[in-house]
Amino acid sequence: MTQRDGGPVRILVLCTGNSARSQIGEALLATRGAGRVEAASAGSRPAAAVNPYAIDVLREHGIDWDGRRTKSVDELADEHFDLAITVCDDARDACPYFPGAAARVHWGLPDPAIATDPDAARRAFAATYDALAWRVDALLALPLETLDPAALRERAQNVHALDRTP
């Protein structure tokens, strides 16, 4: 695992389009875990662009995510990650195995991008942000640098199981 070499814990967040949930997860991990975590995100079928509502909700929380692009899991296939987190059922099924991940967990969340009008979309993206912020904070409270892959997988999955978002 990367942690053993003293480098940052590498975490990959996966979803289908890499335009909403995984981008928010990456942004939260990158900002809240800065210096300790190296975050990336990708999708099994990447959208053309990051969803503007994802950029807006991140900006509302002080995270500048302008200029980011969606990525395919294929772009990261040769990289090693300590933890891969799928955030939608489609990505979990489309990517049952990410060869460069030492541990993998599933934090299934509803897709905020399916909202049909602007007000509903803003509410859905705010709820997604809140759900991921709680999980990321709980994950970062763990001694990530000292956990072996099995313990990391178990503890990271428990974060999702113990969800306490409003």
Query: Which residues carry out catalysis?
Result: 15, 88, 95
| Phi, psi angles (nearest 5°) of residue 45 | -140, 80
Contact predicate 43/7, CB 8 Å:
no
Give bridge partners of residue 86 from the DSSP assignment.
Answer: 14, 106
**Exposed (0-12), middle (13-18) or buried (19+): which is 56, by Cβ within 10 Å?**
middle
Give bridge partners of residue 38 from the DSSP assignment.
Answer: 10
Helices (H) and strands (E) in the chain, counts: 5, 4
Closest Cα to residue 121, out of 52, 42, 60, 22? Answer: 52
Query: Could you tell me the two tokens for 18?
Result: 């890499």
